[in-house]
Amino acid sequence: MKFEIDTSTINQKKLNLLPAFNKPETYSVQESPGNGCMLDPPGYPTYFTQNVYTAHGDAPAEGVQMIIFDRVVEHTNDWGPKTYDEYRAKIDKRLKSLWDPLPLDHPRTRAWILSLYTYFKHCYADDSNTEKSLIYPVPSYKLKQFNDDERFSEEWRTAEQESIRIANKEIIDYAKSIAIPENHQAVRRIRKFYPEYEPEESLIQYAPVHHGNWWERHNKRPKPNECPGQYETKHPVNGTWCQMCGWREK
C-alpha cells in the first residue's frame, strides 16, 4: 500500500519565494528525500530536502547544493566568508521559515515527543561542561572506585575510602542540581521547535518503550501488515520491533 505524503507542514507561499531550480541535463538529484532530519519534528522541511549531484556523483563546486520541491534551499553563494556554524545557522533559519508546525497534541507530534523521551532517557544538558551532556542517575563508571592495596595501612584505607565517598557525593550532588526537567535533553530538543512546551515529569521518570516513529512524511501511522519500512530497510526495521509503525515482537 502506498501512503500519501503529507506536505501540509510546508508553507507554500514562503516556498514559492525561493528561486526555482533549473536542473542541468547532466545533473541528478537525490532519489529519497531527507537530509539531517534525525530527531527533527514530523513534517519539518529537512524530511523533504534533496541533494544535487553532478554527472560525477558529487556536489557541484559552485551552484545549487540542495533543493526542496524544486526550489533552491542551499547554494554555494550561502557559504561566503563565514564560519561553518554561521553558514549552518543561515540554512537552518531558511528551512525553519518554511515550516508550518503540527499542533503539540497532534498524534504525529506526540509520537515524536514520546520517542525523544525514550532516546534521551537519563540525559540532561549541562551548559557549564565541555561535554555538554550529563547522565542522571550517575552511572557507576563516572564514580571513583576504591582499590584496596594490602601494602598500605588500615588508616590509609579509612582515609582513602572517606576521600572517595566525599568526591562521589560531590559528583552526585552536582549531577542532581543539573538534572531538572528544564535541562532534560528531550525537553531542550522539543523547545527548540516548540518554545511553549512544558516538561512532562512522568515521561522523564518512566520513559516509554519504543513505540514507533512519527511516520516521517506519511500522513498516518501504517499498520504492521502495510508498513513500508524505513530508510530502505524493510519492516520490521529493528528486527524485533519497528520504529516506523510501532510493531513489537511478543
6-48 pLDDT tens trace? 999 999 999 999 999 999 999 999 998 999 999 999 999 999 9
At 62-79, the pLDDT tens digits run 999 999 999 999 999 999
Q: What are phi and psi of 74, to 5 degrees?
A: -150, 130
Query: Cis ω on the peptide bond leading into residue 107 (within 30° of 0)?
Result: no
Classify residue 162 as exposed, middle or buried by CB count within 10 Å of its CB (0-12, 13-18, 19+). exposed
| Mean pLDDT of all residues belonging to the chain | 92
* pLDDT score, position 94: 97
CA distances from 230 to 157, 208, 211, 235, 239 (A): 56, 21, 15, 7, 12
Asked whether residue 130 carries a pLDDT value surpassing 80, the answer given is no
> What is the pLDDT confidence band of residue 155, given thresholds at 50, 70 and 90?
confident
Q: Which residues lie below 8 Å from residue 134, measured CB to CB, with a gap of 6+?
A: 123, 124, 125, 126, 175, 178, 179
Give the residue-averaged pLDDT of 133-154. 90
> The C-alpha cell of 127 is what?
551548559
Report the alpha-carbon distance of residue 166 to residue 163 in Å, rounded.
Answer: 5
Residue 99 one-letter amino acid:
W
Predicted model pTM: 0.87
Phi, psi (degrees; rounded to nearest 5) at 117: -65, -35
Nearest CA among 134, 135, 117, 137 for reference residue 202: 117
Asked if 190 and 198 touch (Cβ cutoff 8 Å), the reply is no
Query: How buried is residue 80: exposed, middle or buried, by Cβ count under 10 Å (0-12/13-18/19+)?
Result: exposed
Answer whether residue 96 shows pLDDT above 90.
yes
